[in-house]
Amino acid sequence: MWTEKYRPKSLEEIVGQEVVVKRIQGFVKEKTIPNLLLWGQKGTGKTSLVYALAKELYGEFYDENVMLIETSDFVEQRKKWLKEDKRFKFFYDEQKSAIDIFKEMIREYAALSPINATFKVLFFSNADFLPVNAQQALRRVMERSSKTCRFIFVTTKPAGVIPAIRSRCLNLHFTHLDKSSALETLIRSIAGEEGVKLTEGGLKTLKQYARGDAGAAINILEAAATAAAATTTASSATKSVDETRIEEVVRNAFFQRKKAEELIDLAFASRHKEVRAGLEFMIKEERIGGKEILAEIHEALRRKMKAEMTVEESQKFARLMLYEGEADFQLCDSLNALIHLEMMIMKMSKVVRGL
């Protein structure tokens, strides 16, 4: 996969995050790092920086001194995940709860001496998924194992990490790649390396779908290039990718996004029966969760907001966002997401029609 093939091997190769990289390079020169909280939108280079940092710190002893904990897997699978992961076989106990096993494993690993280094690294991906009681336990482990271990937390939602942990970490924000030319430069570079002729229209469409997520952009480009290669004649060595090719690739991959945009358009047109039918299809047929639908609706609304709006238009969008917040809160304890989502969209429809 191109995402792994072109993953940065060193800190210098990370694009669009010059301020963060410069800070980290200063620590690397001193052969030490503080506990870190890396936060920012998906696909901005947080995980790549952790891997590049570890390789520069540990070299050939990289695998022995870094442990990745994918917290979303732990939260979703609990004891099943712990039981099946070979790293935890010495800690697994059928009589203990998943949280107790998890806490014991973290304490033991953090206390172990590093190999040919002054400290090891515990890397928590999607750290906001960790239950609060597990985060509270981590706070104490961080204090007791400061001589043997450093903790790195990566998240898109820093508010999901408790203040006690945030205050014990150097907080580094990864900026959106669309705010600079970093993503465009990266995509052009990969296209050139792979012999792909990416048109200006294709690049623009790709960026629209990627939303600043470098991983998504690379995956889309790879899929489009593969499809182009299948139709390229033997006499033509260059694979051409234009906006049509990108649209073909993302048609299924971005199904939820397209459906959310359709729901908003239907709501603005007061086609309520079709709104309900669309929601029922997504929830009952496609098995898409209420929170996922709400997140896509939120993004669809943001894309409809114009750079310059009148006071009246701004007030309308503010009310739409308020209804989103209400629905988000209601979905936390809801047994039927359809009810709250339909109610939210109906309220939005009234606002747009000026009722």
Classify 268 as helix, strand or coil: helix
CATH number of the domain residue 106 falls in? 3.40.50.300
How does pLDDT run along the chain (355 residues), one tens digit per residue?
A: 888 888 888 899 898 899 999 999 999 998 889 999 999 988 899 999 999 999 998 888 888 888 888 887 777 777 776 777 777 666 677 777 778 878 888 888 888 888 888 899 999 998 988 888 888 888 888 888 888 899 999 998 888 899 999 999 999 999 888 777 888 889 999 998 888 889 999 888 888 888 888 888 888 888 888 888 877 554 445 678 888 888 888 776 667 777 888 888 888 888 888 988 989 888 887 778 888 888 888 888 887 776 567 788 888 888 888 999 999 888 877 778 889 999 999 888 888 877 5
Where do runs of H (alpha helix) occur along the chain? 2-5, 18-29, 46-58, 62-65, 71-77, 79-84, 98-111, 132-144, 163-166, 182-193, 200-210, 214-231, 243-253, 255-268, 272-280, 290-304, 311-331, 337-353
Same domain assignment for residues 191 and 325: no
Same domain assignment for residues 203 and 229: yes
What is the spatial distance between Cα 41 and Cα 50, in angstroms, rounded to a whole number? 15
Same domain assignment for residues 111 and 17: yes
Q: Tally the domains of the chain.
A: 3
Domain boundary among 252, 280, 298: 252
What is the spatial distance between Cα 230 and Cα 232, in angstroms, rounded to a whole number? 6
CB neighbour list of residue 45: distance below 8 Å, 6 or more residues apart = 8, 14, 15, 16, 17, 174, 177, 214
Same domain assignment for residues 62 and 91: yes
Same domain assignment for residues 228 and 298: no
Classify 340 as helix, strand or coil: helix
Same domain assignment for residues 221 and 327: no
Provide the domain limits for residue 159.
2-175
CATH number of the domain residue 304 falls in? 1.20.272.10
User: What is the radius of gyration, based on Cα positions, of the chain?
Assistant: 23
Taking alpha carbons only, the member of 215, 165, 157 closest to residue 39 is: 157
Same domain assignment for residues 246 and 281: no
Same domain assignment for residues 77 and 141: yes
The answer to whether the beta carbons of residues 210 and 183 sit under 8 Å apart is: yes
Domain boundary among 252, 276, 293: 252
Q: For residue 165, what are its two tokens?
A: 């942990």
Same domain assignment for residues 243 and 305: no
Same domain assignment for residues 236 and 306: no
> CB count, 10 Å around CB of 342?
20
What letter does residue 89 receive in the DSSP assignment? T
What is the spatial distance between Cα 304 and Cα 320, in angstroms, rounded to a whole number? 12
> CB count, 10 Å around CB of 172?
18
Q: What is the reported pLDDT for 287?
A: 76
What is the spatial distance between Cα 88 and Cα 111, in angstroms, rounded to a whole number? 15
The amino acid occupying position 262 is E
Q: What is the reported pLDDT for 21?
A: 93
Return the ∠ at Cα 22 (arms to 21 and 26), rounded to 5°.
115
Q: What is the reported pLDDT for 234?
A: 44
Same domain assignment for residues 318 and 243: no
> CB count, 10 Å around CB of 287?
7
Same domain assignment for residues 268 and 219: no
Classify 313 as helix, strand or coil: helix
Domain boundary among 117, 151, 175: 175
CATH number of the domain residue 227 falls in? 1.10.8.60
What is the spatial distance between Cα 88 and Cα 46, in angstroms, rounded to a whole number? 26
